[in-house]
């Protein structure tokens, strides 16, 4: 059977794009240089964040900016050598985070987020993955009452504007709900709508298996070999060349390399992050974000996963897990943290855009070429809805969400 679509990149976004196309009867090949779901989609905190109706803006208060500039906060770290390349992007990110511009960005972004649970739910059901999912939300813990008061006010605003649900827990109620906490927090904000996943990589694997069951093809190949062909596009794989009428670039943090080679100069940059698992001890029941230390403690099949904030570095730069050291120290103040499972921490890259919105839609200068990347912190959350939206654009059907705010032509 001839292939209709090549999807390059088998993370959550690429896998869901391939699966959504296969569900609609298209012949699809999913191509990656390694097994699906082993990069960013594997290493996140495993939360499908229905509450994340607004993307992460660049801090506007100068104390936060100063902490980041001096590399002294646990939530942000940077390599000096990366600054010349990343600073122009960060300047535009800061510009787009101004209140007036950010409000419009958040409205567009929220229209994607509102479908994240329903679109995941359909794929979870079809893929037999309900055993991986816990539908109890997650908590944001606070060490000071002042920080909790500010967050509660912001959460109430989001509830009124977007209908997301939360409850506030005082310190005693939080300790009762999470007996594994030995360090007392002032309290927590419990977001009720999100779902958590015990093994993010396994969820991607289940989606891939569903894709294969529907007739999809998985191939090992080099996305950099993508070339126009007489009848569309061609890519080299270990099984030989594959051709299709359409090709989708869903390479996450590596999308910039390929799009640059094709003549596009999209304002992309990367935020790196680390995690490590720790097994033993009572741990936590559901994920907890330590708001004032910038880390997440998430119960996973492999143990308690500690995840870090953002590191700005070159894509291929050496690992510098200083944030993980700080995160581990902060986590030990809250829970018993035994020795790590892995000898070395995991390192991954988040694909970001200067206006905080993903890039989705047809490539402006190449027929049959499509983009689906730049989801920043929410690729795991937005994979199914992004995949559906791109599938609908490719086949010309009425889209679930207006795609115009996400088209690459906005740049």
**What is the side-by-side order of every strand in the sheet holding 133-134?**
47-48, 195-197, 133-134
CATH of the domain at 406: 3.50.50.60
The pLDDT of residue 40: 73
Does 4 reside within a domain? yes
The pLDDT of residue 78: 86
Q: How far apart are CA 109 and CA 111, in angstroms?
A: 5
Does 348 reside within a domain? no
Q: For residue 388, report the phi and psi dihedrals to the nearest 5 degrees.
A: -65, -45
Does 259 reside within a domain? yes
Answering whether pTM is above 0.75, one says: yes
State pLDDT tens for residues 304-333: 999 998 999 999 899 999 999 999 999 999
CA dihedral 19, 21, 22, 26 (to 10 degrees): -160
Q: Report the domain count for the chain.
A: 1
Q: Where are the beta strands (DSSP E) in 201-266?
A: 217-220, 227-229, 232-237, 240-249
* DSSP 8-class letter at 318: P
Q: How many residues does the chain have?
A: 411
Q: For residue 141, report the phi and psi dihedrals to the nearest 5 degrees.
A: -95, 150
The pLDDT of residue 375: 97
Does 358 reside within a domain? yes
H, E, C per residue of the chain: CCEEEEEECCCHHHHHHHHHHHHCCCCEEEEECCCCCCCHHHHCCCEECCCCCCCCCCCCCHHHHHHHHCCCCCCEEECHHHHHHHHHHHHHHHHHCCHHHHHHHHHHHHHHHCCHHHHHHHHHHHHCCHHHEECCCEEEEECCHHHHHHHHHHHHHHHHHHCCCEEEEEHHHHHHHCCCECCCCCEEEEECCCEEECCHHHHHHHHHHHHHHCCCEEEEECHHHCEEECCEEEEEECCEEEEEEEEEECCHHHHHHHHHHCCCCCCEEEEEEEEEEECCCCCCCCCEEECCCCEEEEEECCEEEEECCEEECCCCCCCCCHHHHHHHHHHHCCECCCCECCCCCEEEEEEEECCCCCEEEECCCCCCEEEEECCHHHHHHHHHHHHHHHHHHHHCCCCCCCCHHHCHHHC
Does 51 reside within a domain? yes
Q: Give the Cα-Cα-Cα angle 286, 292, 297 (nearest 5 degrees).
A: 25
Q: Which residues of the chain have pLDDT under 70?
A: 1, 37, 62, 65-74
Packing angle, helices 12-23 and 200-213, rounded to 10 = 30
The pLDDT of residue 41: 76
Does 141 reside within a domain? no
Q: How far apart are CA 226 and CA 46, in angstroms?
A: 31
Which range of residues forms the domain containing residue 378?
Answer: 1-56+97-132+196-267+354-411
Does 390 reside within a domain? yes
The pLDDT of residue 1: 54
Does 241 reside within a domain? yes
The pLDDT of residue 183: 84
């Amino acid at each position: 059977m001839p292939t209709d679509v090549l999807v390059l990149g088998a993370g959550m976004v690429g896998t869901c794009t391939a699966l959504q196309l296969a569900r609609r009867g298209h012949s699809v090949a999913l191509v990656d240089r390694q097994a699906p779901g082993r990069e960013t989609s594997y290493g996140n905190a495993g939360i499908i964040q229905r509450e994340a109706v607004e993307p992460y803006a660049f801090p506007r208060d100068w104390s936060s900016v100063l902490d980041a500039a001096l590399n002294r906060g646990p939530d942000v770290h940077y390599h000096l050598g990366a600054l010349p390349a990343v600073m122009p992007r960060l300047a535009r990110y800061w510009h787009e985070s101004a209140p007036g511009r950010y409000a419009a960005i958040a409205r567009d972004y929220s229209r994607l987020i509102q479908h994240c649970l329903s679109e995941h739910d359909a794929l979870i059901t079809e893929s037999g993955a309900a055993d991986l999912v816990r539908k109890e939300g997650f908590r944001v813990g606070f060490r000071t009452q002042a920080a909790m008061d500010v967050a509660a006010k912001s959460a109430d605003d989001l509830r009124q504007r977007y209908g997301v649900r939360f409850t506030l827990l005082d310190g005693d109620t939080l300790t009762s709900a999470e007996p594994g906490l030995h360090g007392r927090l002032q309290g927590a904000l419990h977001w009720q709508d999100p779902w958590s996943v015990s093994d993010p990589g396994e969820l991607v694997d289940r989606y891939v298996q569903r894709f294969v069951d529907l007739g999809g093809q998985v191939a090992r190949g080099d996305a950099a070999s993508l070339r126009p062909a007489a009848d569309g596009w061609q890519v080299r794989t270990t099984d030989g060349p594959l051709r299709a009428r359409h090709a989708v670039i869903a390479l996450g943090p590596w999308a910039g390399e390929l799009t640059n080679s094709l003549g596009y100069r999209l304002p992309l940059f990367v935020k790196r992050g680390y995690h490590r698992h720790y097994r033993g001890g009572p741990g936590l029941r559901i994920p907890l974000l330590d708001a004032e230390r910038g880390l997440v403690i998430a119960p996973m099949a492999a143990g308690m996963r500690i995840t870090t904030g953002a590191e700005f570095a070159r894509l291929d730069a050496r690992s510098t897990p200083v944030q993980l050291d700080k995160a581990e120290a902060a986590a030990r103040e809250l829970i018993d943290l035994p020795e790590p499972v892995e000898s070395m921490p995991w390192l991954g890259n988040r694909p970001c855009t200067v206006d905080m919105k993903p890039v989705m839609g047809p490539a402006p200068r190449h027929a049959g070429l499509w983009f689906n990347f730049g989801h920043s912190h929410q690729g795991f959350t937005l994979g199914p809805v992004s995949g559906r939206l791109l599938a609908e654009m490719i086949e010309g059907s009425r889209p679930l969400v207006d795609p115009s705010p996400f088209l690459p032509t906005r740049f």
